[in-house]
Amino acid sequence: MKIILNLFYTTVFMALCFNTQNITATNAEKQKEGFVVSSNESCEPKLTVSIGFDDRIYRVGDVLNTTVTITNVGVVDAKNIAVDFNLPHQIVSSGKMVQHILFLAAGKSASVLLSCRIVEAGRGMIYYKITADDFSAQEVTTVSIAGAGWYGGDNHSHSTYSDGRGTIQQNSDVAYKKGMSWNYTADHNNRRARDDSKRITSEGRGDFIALVGVEIDNLIGHALAFQMPENVETYVIKTIYEGYFDALPDGEDKPLEVKYFDTNLEGSDIYFGELFGGKTLEYITIPGMGRATDYANIDMKGKIALVARGEFTLVEKINTAMAAGAEGVIVYNYNSEPLGMTLNSGVIGIGILQKDGLKLAAKEKGTIQFRNEPLPPKAKKTWQMMIDEVNASGAFFVPAHPGSSAYPFLEIYDIRNFAGLEVWNGTNPKAAGNILAFQQWDNSNARGDAKYFGMANSDAHDANIIAVAYNMAYMNELSVENINKEMKNGTFFGSNGPQLRFEIDGVSMGETLYINEDKQITLVKIRAFDDLYPLTEINLYKLKTVGEATDTKHLVQTWDLKSKNIKHWHLNFELEVSVGEIYRIEVNSEKSTSSDGATKGFAYSNPIWIEKTNEMTTNKPFVKNITLNNPNAELLQTKAGNYYIITNNATNLNAEHLIISVSEKAIVEKMYDAENKLFNIKISSQDGAYKRSMKIFEVKK
């Protein structure tokens, strides 16, 4: 099937005239659609571009052909057209990455073809840049590949089932368009997104999974829970108190009995009823959604603000009302569910049902009399009790945005047995809250009681923010089980565009290298690449386990790549490591590919831990180097480090041509598959405890 890409993928060019004038209103509308507009009527649309490829789920080893067809729909001949292909790391080709159409007569079409072979699974983007005399445009297509490879996903987003503004479908569509393979909905204290998520996953092609976790709210922090049992809706760390008040909207004769919901969390020291029990106050219905401008010219002193829920967070909504002088805030929900609010540090609010809120909001103002009622005891559950409960259910626990000034996780150094920390929350990895979260992560690992990973998430409340930060993990196949396994184990890296590969003696990020002596010389391999923007800096850090949460971070090496216009970089080197050390890397590039372009590109690895063992064979066998002994073939590596071989018609390959250097005591098996044009390689430890397999594909010149 040939895909003619419309709207997002189809570009119409205009001839650029040098006597252009101001754009008229009509032409301004055309400009939004990708037209370059001129007042000269002879400058009509000249070139259209369509991208074609077989839009299906590919597998590793498949051949992919992509074409660019350019049609000259104008009356002027076009010259010097260039088509530049930029392939993702999963796809290789021996063809020309830049192809030319020297002349294209008016009314004619011409196509260029690039034949490729797929060497790794995942979801990759092919970028096309088309230029000609005075013309330039870019297109992108996304390719889905099943099998073993690196897959990406965002683990923290919100939907209309809590305080998000995107539906599950909208959030999933954005994640998919950005090249993600999964998206985790983590709404506040509910998992009502389950049915929508199951439908989206089942109706898809198998290259995207919609998952549902939960964000647990607490006045001294928020936390994420993943891999939850199907029958668990949420984990409750708060006591919901139901109270009553009597409301009399203006013009009504009979008061309404209204149930309200207050919550007491660990760290909260007061209930709403303690402040207002027995009092009668005036309420004011706030127009709009309760933004600061909605309070203009309203005297709120000594009064209660009645506000609708939605469009921005509850805390922001309540703080806005308090800043306007309100004595307290009542928020009515946007659905039929109870809305539990919180009370602490000047945030004085309660929630009521939607049906009651609409009745009160039908009038601009009224009076409320709060009843004197007995109050329940304060909450006793601690975060550690919550972690133990989450773990016992089979789920895993991750403190969310622990460095945030608005929602800090205040007990971060007092808890144990959690899986990791959300060290990157939102668009900017260098925001103050994220810098602090990285410090908390490193300090927690210095304690040495467990191995904590760092997670990168968007915390999106708007669909378009999905995947501004995400996680990349290697899996044999995309599945719910594999996503949860890799996330729980920490065998992934976080990014907003750059990619990285990092291993020490074959042990990759999130894993442990075992050594027999206190110190050992190791082989370190680092790869960093960005499909669109040059790399600027790569840093290798070392930490030390010292038995307490403290700063042990040390910069081992910096590689300064600024102004070198390098998009793909790799280095192998020897490094002496010692027992108790922890290593991780960070990669920087000029721009993020997943957000607004103003944010710098950034990626970080999860750590590699160094521990001592008396066992003789404990580490995974690994490849040190591969060479090819055949004059008619060339062994190359992708920017991700995958090997492939360029051959011609005179090439005859066999297993003996491939020379593989491996770690000590590793066993190598290799076979050339002439029918499928690939090498199958298996590497195992002597005791058979660890096995690795890899394929090296042949690509015809």
pLDDT value for 382: 79
- In this prediction, residue 341 carries a pLDDT of 62
pLDDT at residue number 1: 28
Write down the pLDDT at residue 497: 96
Between 410 and 106, name the one with better pLDDT: 106
DSSP codes, 390-402:
HHHTT-EEEEEST
d(CA 309, CA 289): 7
Q: Scanning the structure block, which residue is given the tokens 């077989």? A: 54
As a whole number, mean pLDDT of residues 336-365 equals 79
Neighbours of 695 (CB within 10 A): 19
Question: Would you state the pLDDT for residue 408?
Answer: 86
Query: Is the pLDDT assigned to residue 316 strictly greater than 60?
Result: yes
For the segment 386-408, the average pLDDT, to the nearest whole number, is 93
Lowest mean pLDDT among 161-165, 166-170, 412-416, 676-680: 161-165
615 confidence band (pLDDT: 50, 70, 90):
confident
One-character DSSP codes across 348-369: EEEEE-HHHHHHHHTSSEEEEE
Residue 170 has pLDDT above 80, yes or no: yes
pLDDT of residue 441: 98
Query: Is the pLDDT higher at 163 or at 179?
Result: 179
pLDDT in tens, 541-565: 999 999 999 999 999 999 999 999 9
- Section 461-484 average pLDDT: 97
pLDDT of residue 239: 56
In this prediction, residue 431 carries a pLDDT of 96
pLDDT the model gives residue 156: 98
The Cα 590–Cα 333 span in angstroms is 43
pLDDT at 255 over 50: yes
- Classify residue 570 as left (phi > 0), alpha (psi -120 to 50) or beta: beta
Region 509-525: mean pLDDT is 95
Q: Are 384 and 220 a contacting pair, CB within 8 Å? A: no
- Residue 378: pLDDT band with limits 50, 70, 90: low
In this predicted structure, the answer to whether residue 218 has a pLDDT above a threshold of 70 is: no
Tell me the average pLDDT across 294-307: 94
- pLDDT reported for residue 71: 94
- What pLDDT is attached to residue 3? 30
pLDDT top residue among 12 and 206: 206
Amino acid 134: pLDDT: 77
Confidence of residue 242 (pLDDT cuts 50, 70, 90): confident
pTM of the model: 0.82
| Per-residue pLDDT reduced to its tens digit, 39-51 | 334 554 489 999 9
Tell me the domains of the chain and their CATH numbers. Answer: 11-146 (2.60.40.10), 148-236+382-495 (3.20.20.140), 238-370 (3.50.30.30), 499-614 (2.60.40), 623-700 (2.60.40)
**Tokens read off for 480:** 């719910």
Mean pLDDT of 482-487: 98
C-alpha angle 606/612/616, rounded to 5°?
A: 110
Least confident of 38-47, 356-365, 567-576: 38-47
Closest CA relative to residue 545, chosen from 445, 472, 454: 445
CA distance linking residue 410 with residue 447, whole number of Å:
17
Could you say which DSSP state residue 650 is in?
Answer: T
pLDDT higher than threshold 50 for residue 22:
no
pLDDT at residue 621 tops 60: yes
Question: In sequence order, which ranges of 206-290 are alpha helices (DSSP H)?
Answer: 272-276
SS3 316: helix
Q: Are 677 and 696 in contact (CB under 8 A)?
A: no
Collapsing DSSP states into helix, strand and coil, what is residue 287? coil
Of residues 616 and 529, more confidently modeled: 529
Over residues 96-118, mean pLDDT: 95
pLDDT higher than threshold 90 for residue 584? yes
Write the CB contacts of 545 (distance below 8 Å, at least 6 apart in sequence). Answer: 445, 446, 447, 448, 580, 581, 582
pLDDT at 25 over 70: no
- Is 467's pLDDT higher than 70? yes
Segment 340-368 shows an average pLDDT of: 81
Distance of alpha carbon 18 from alpha carbon 25, whole angstroms: 20
- Mean pLDDT across the stretch 162-172? 95
**Residue 275, C-beta contacts closer than 8 angstroms, at least 6 positions apart:** 328, 348
pLDDT value of residue 344: 45
Q: What is the pLDDT at residue 12?
A: 38
pLDDT band of residue 117 (cuts 50, 70, 90) is very high
Give residue 240's pLDDT band: very low, low, confident or very high (50, 70, 90): low
Report pLDDT for 8: 29
Quick one: average pLDDT of 54-79?
94
3-state helix/strand/coil string of 495-507: ECCCEEEEEECCE
More confident call, 692 vs 478:
478
Mean per-residue pLDDT of the chain: 88
pLDDT for res 405: 86
Q: Check residue 181 and report its DSSP letter.
A: S
Q: Decide if pLDDT at 14 tops 50.
A: no
Say if CB 158 and CB 459 are below 8 A apart. Answer: yes
Is it the case that residue 291 has pLDDT exceeding 80? yes
pLDDT category, 656, cuts 50, 70, 90? very high
Q: Are 463 and 451 in contact (CB under 8 A)?
A: no
Range with lowest mean pLDDT among 79-83, 258-262, 422-426: 258-262
pLDDT confidence bin for 24, thresholds 50/70/90: very low
pLDDT tier at 375 (50, 70, 90 boundaries)?
A: low
The CA distance from 507 to 10, in Å, is 44
Helix axes of 194-203 and 168-177: crossing angle, nearest 10 degrees: 40
Assess whether pLDDT exceeds 50 at residue 9. Answer: no
Confidence of residue 473 (pLDDT cuts 50, 70, 90): very high
Mean pLDDT over residues 573-584, rounded? 98
